[in-house]
Structure 1
C-alpha cells in the first residue's frame, strides 16, 4: 500500500476542543477515526477520547495481519465504544453520559470500509469529484430524505445541528455501514467534523483535496473553516488521505517498507483532558474481559 496522509484540529471560538482524531497503519491495513464530542452534553471530550482510543486499540489488536470481516469489526467495535463510555461514566460518577459522534474508515485489500454514527462525515473524491459521502444522522437529513425540505432549506433550518444517533446515553447507537468501495489511483478520502463541513462549501472542499501535498489540503480546509467561524462556530477537525502507487508527496508512506510487526499510530489529543490513558485502557480491558466471559458462557450453554 502507498498513500499520503495528514490530519489537523483547531479549537475555533469554543472554550476548548472536544474533537479527537487519529490514524493507525501497518503493512496490510489502515484505520482513520474521528470523533466529535457533543458540546450540548457534559464531558463530550471524554466520550470522543474513549471513542478514538477504543477503535485504535481494537485495530492494533485484531488486524494482524488483517481483519477477517471488516464491516462486522467496525460495527462491533463502535457498539463497544458506547459500552465503554457508559462504563467510564459509572466509574467517574458523572451525572450525565458523555456523548460523541464517530466516523471510521478502514482500508484493507485496496478496499474502503466505512462506518459512522452521528454527523461527522467521510467524503471520497475521485478525479476531483465527490464519489461518495456518508449521510448524517440528523433531523434535517431525515426531513430531506422524506421530501419535506430542500437542500437549500437544510442550510438555514433551525434544527440543522440536531442529531438523533450518537455514542453514549441511554439508547445504543445504530451504526451506519457503507458498502465496500474499491479504491482507485488518486482517490482522496476526507474525514471531518461538522465544524468543517458546516462552514466550508462542498465545491471548495473538493478543490482543496486536489492539492499535490495532502497536508496543504488539510491546512486550506481548516483555514477556510476557521475564517468562517471567527465569532460563531465549532471545533474543526479533519483527516485526509491520498491513495495510490504514484503518490510522490513528501508525506507519502509505503507500507511495504515497514517491518511486518510494526504499527504506526498518530493521535491528535488536545491538552486539558481529566481522564488518563490508564483509566481508558482499564475500562476497555474490563469490557473485553466481560465479553470474553459472556462468549465462554454461551459456548458452555451450547
Structure 2
C-alpha cells in the first residue's frame, strides 16, 4: 500500500480540547479514528481518549497481518469502547457516563470500510467531488431526512448541535456501517469533528483537500476552521489520507517494507489545557479497563461455544 496521511487538532475558542484522534497502519491495513468528547456531559475528553486508544489497541492486536472481517471488527470494537467507558464510570464512581462521538475508517485490499456514531464525519473525495459522506446522528439531520425542515434551515436551527446517538451513556450506541468502497488512485479520505464541518463550507473543505500534499491540506483546513471560529465555535480536528502515490506528495508512506505483523501508530498530541474538574485517569488505567472487557468478552465467547457443543 502507498498513501500520504496527516492529522491535526486545534482547541479553538473552547476552554478545553475534548477531541482525540490517531492513525495506525500495518503492512496490509490502515486504521484512522477520530472522537469528539461531548461537552454537555462530564469528562467527554476521557470518553474520546478511551475511544481512540481502544480502537488503536484493537487494530494493533488483530491486524496480524489483516483484520479477518473488517465490518464486524468495526461494529464489535466500537461496542467494546462503549463497555470500557461504562467500566471506567463504575471504577471512578461517576454519576454519569462520559460520552463521545466516533468515526473510524479501516482500509484493506484497496477497500474502505467505515463505522460511525454521532456527528463526526467521514468524507471520501474523488476527483475533487464528494463520493461518499457519513450522515450525522443529529436532531437536525433527522428532521431534514424526514422533510420537516429545509437544507437552508440547518445552519441556524436551535437544535443543530444536538445528537441522539453516542458512545457512552445509558443506551448502547447505534453503530452505522457504510458499505465497502473500493478506492482509486488519488482518492482522499477525510475524518473531521463538527468543529470543522460546522465552520467551513463544503466547497472550501473540498478545495483544501485538493492541496499539493495532504499535510498542507489539513493545515489549510484547520486554519480556515480556526479563522471562522475565533469567538464562537468548537474544537477542530481532522485526519486526511490520500490513496496511492502522487509525484507532488513527498511524504508518501509505503508499507511494503514493514514486518508482516508490525504496526506503526501515530497518536495526535492534543495540547491539553489544565481542567479544574479533570478525571484522574492514567493510560495504565485505560489499558486495564480495556483488558478487563477483552477478558470478559473472551470468557463469554468460550461459554457460548461450550453451550453450542
Give the CA deviation at 1:259. 2.4
Q: 1:247 to 1:44 in 2, by over 3 A?
A: farther
Corresponding residue for 1:295? 301
Q: Is the 8 A contact 2:21 2:35 kept in 1?
A: yes
Q: Contact 2:245/2:252 (CA < 8 Å) preserved in 1?
A: no
Paired with 1:185 and 1:291, the residues of 2 have a C-alpha distance of 39
Taking the TM superposition and a 5 Å limit, the aligned residue runs for 1:91-130 are 91-130=91-130
Of stretches 254-263 and 97-106 in structure 1, the one that deviates more from structure 2 is: 254-263
Within 5 A, what are the aligned runs for 1:75-224?
A: 75-224=75-224
**How many angstroms does 1:261 deviate by?**
3.0
Task: Count residues in correspondence.
Answer: 302
Secondary structure at the aligned position of 2:189 is classed as strand
Give structure 2 stretches of 5+ with no counterpart.
none
Q: Who is 2:33 aligned against?
A: 33
Structure 2: how far apart are the matches of 1:143 and 1:178? 21
Whether the 8 Å CA contact 1:2–1:247 is kept in 2: the answer is: no
Aligned-residue RMSD, C-alpha: 1.0
Partners of 1:248 and 1:298 in 2: CA distance: 53
- Give the superposition deviation at 1:253: 0.1
**Aligned partners of 1:119 and 1:135 also within 8 Å:** yes
CA contact (8 A) 1:6 1:215 kept: yes
Q: Is the 8 A contact 2:25 2:31 kept in 1?
A: yes
2: CA distance, partners of 1:51 / 1:128: 30
Q: State TM-score, norm by structure 1.
A: 0.98
Q: Hey, what's the Cα distance between the residues in 2 that align with 1:5 and 1:120? A: 18
After the TM superposition, which segments of 4 or more aligned residues of structure 1 sit over 6 Å from their partners? Answer: none
SS of residue paired to 1:275: coil
Q: Distance in 2 between matches of 1:269 and 1:80?
A: 24
- Which residue of structure 1 lines up, in the alignment, with residue 252 of structure 2? 252
Q: C-alpha distance in 2, partners of 1:281/1:32?
A: 19
Tell me the SS of whatever aligns to 1:122.
strand
Q: The residue matched to 1:217 in structure 2 has which SS?
A: helix
- For residues 148 and 267 of structure 2, the distance between their equivalents in structure 1, rounded to whole angstroms, comes to 40
Instruction: Report the 3-state secondary structure (helix = DSSP H, G, I; strand = E; otherwise coil) of the residue aligned with 2:99.
Output: coil
Displacement of 1:247 in angstroms is 5.4
Partners of 1:269 and 1:115 in 2: CA distance: 23
User: Which residue of structure 1 lines up, in the alignment, with residue 229 of structure 2?
Assistant: 229
Aligned to 1:279: 285
Identify which range, 9-18 or 251-260, moves more after superposition.
251-260
Using a 3 Å threshold, how does the CA distance of structure 1 residues 248 and 257 change in structure 2: closer, same or farther? farther
In structure 1, stretches of 5+ residues that fail to align are none
- 1:54 aligns to what? 54
How far apart are the structure 2 equivalents of 1:245 and 1:72?
A: 29
Residue 48 of structure 2: SS of its match in structure 1? helix
Partners of 1:257 and 1:289 in 2: CA distance: 33
TM-aligned CA deviation for residue 248 of structure 1: 4.7
Deviation by residue 1:13-66 (Cα, 9 ceiling, x = unmatched): 111100000000011000000000000000000000000000000001111111
1:150 CA displacement: 1.2
- Structure 1 contact 89–96 (Cα < 8 Å) conserved: yes
Q: CA deviation at 1:245?
A: 3.6
Distance 1:63 1:260 in 2: 9
